[in-house]
Amino acid sequence: MARGTSGLPQALERGVADLFPAGTAEGAGHDPDQQLTARLAQAEAEGRPMRVKLGIDPTGSDIHLGHSILFRKLRAFQDAGHTAVLIIGDFTARIGDPTGKSATRVQLSAAEVEANAETYLVQLGLGQDPARALLDFQTPGRLEVRRNSEWLSGLDLPQVIELLGISTVGQMLAKEDFANRYGSGTPISLHEFLYPLLQGYDSVAIRSDLELGGTPQFGMLLPILPGLDGVQKMSKSLGNTVGLSEDPLSMYSKLEKVPDAVVEEYLTLLTDLDLEALPANPRERQKAMALEITRQRHGEAAAAQAQSDAARLVGGASGSGAADADVPEASLAAVNFPAKAFYLLSAVGICASSSEARRQIQNGGVKLEGQKLTDPNQEFADAAALEGKVLQLGKKTFRRLVAG
């Protein structure tokens, strides 16, 4: 297997931002025991797989491409013969990860966390063909799914006090998120300081050799994916995400329009394509990236159809072009007719609110059957007037209106 500059196999090294300790002898202080490459070699010599840990807190119901970077790396370790240990943070999710947050998270109930966990597992590949799934749930010995309530719910007060004794307030406040909140006078609840300690406890409990995204044992850190705006991190709260469960056309259309500045990051972090073999033309590289990521989630035929449909729809095609396109449907059943255009967009879920719909129409971002809507108050008499027509928002969102 080809090796990268760190000495790791290229499939494992691709897209890595940092290793703790470093993957080279120089970076690890010349101590062979503190090199990931040496640990991999030792595991191979002993005929055992490495245990590679990734913890996720199911605080929501959707996984987007930004989250998928870590899971793709975990899958690379699976495919290299190692054991992925996926920890569902059903206990820690009730605390809430403070990372990247400017305020204390709302604590979830156990039932809410478990419901979210089930949707996460399905999106990651539970019950799916491993060839199309993010993680391999089928090959024996390649995946353990654990819930950290197994060991954390049984901790008694003396054990919690002992755990708290290994860290100081100064160390906690050295974390950027805590430091910013403390400096601005934003409250920090004491239970939030427990979160990073419990994360480390997870690694010890399941005897991990390597953690993705952290440093209790060996840590492999991966970059944060920029969102569709190309500036801020991909985040649902910022509205710049591509969800793993999105339909092929929406996924392809969004990815095809990401800013040129982040296309290489998307190619590196979200695909296994040979970057040197791709066309040099930036537009062609962008299309190749969008096609490949859509193919990973939906298959080759669906991705090719999405690419073809996007070209026709964005190009202003109407009539037979739009009619033949495989466009996600939006029901008109909840729309009260006669309906004005701004209300229609919010009622079928294309816009989050009527005020947003008004802005989009006034800014020229809405089309019906390829024709631009210019009047937010344009009225539609009944569902029959819209049945089967394609409503378009910008160059990324398309919905075929159906009466049912």
Contact 223, 217 (CB under 8 A): no
Instruction: List where CATH 3.10.290.10 sits in the chain.
Output: 329-402
**pTM, two decimal places:** 0.82
Q: What is the pLDDT of residues 304-318, one digit of tens each?
A: 999 999 988 876 544
Does CATH number 3.40.50.620 belong to domain 10-26+43-221? yes
In the chain, the amino acid numbered 121 is L
Q: Using CB atoms within 10 A of its CB, is residue 154 exposed (0-12), middle (13-18) or buried (19+)?
A: exposed
Q: What is the pLDDT of residues 88-118, one digit of tens each?
A: 999 988 776 666 555 565 677 888 889 999 9
Q: Grade residue 28 by pLDDT with cuts at 50, 70 and 90.
A: very low
Q: Which parts of 280-392 fold into alpha helices (H)?
A: 282-298, 300-314, 320-324, 341-347, 354-362
Q: Grade residue 25 by pLDDT with cuts at 50, 70 and 90.
A: very low
- Work out the average pLDDT over 143-156: 95
Q: Grade residue 31 by pLDDT with cuts at 50, 70 and 90.
A: low
Contact 30, 20 (CB under 8 A): no
Question: What is the rounded CA–CA span in Å between residue 95 and residue 89?
Answer: 10
Contact 53, 200 (CB under 8 A): no
DSSP assignment letter at 218? E
Instruction: List where CATH 3.40.50.620 sits in the chain.
Output: 10-26+43-221
Q: Is pLDDT above 70 for 377? A: yes
Query: What would the two tokens of residue 294 be?
Result: 């859509």
Which class would CATH give 236-314?
mainly alpha
The whole-number pLDDT of residue 103 equals 59
Instruction: List where CATH 1.10.240.10 sits in the chain.
Output: 236-314
CATH topology of domain 329-402: 3.10.290
Of the candidates 305, 306, 325, the one whose C-alpha atom is nearest the C-alpha of residue 317 is: 325
Q: What is the pLDDT of residues 173-186, one digit of tens each?
A: 988 888 999 999 99
In the chain, the amino acid numbered 350 is I
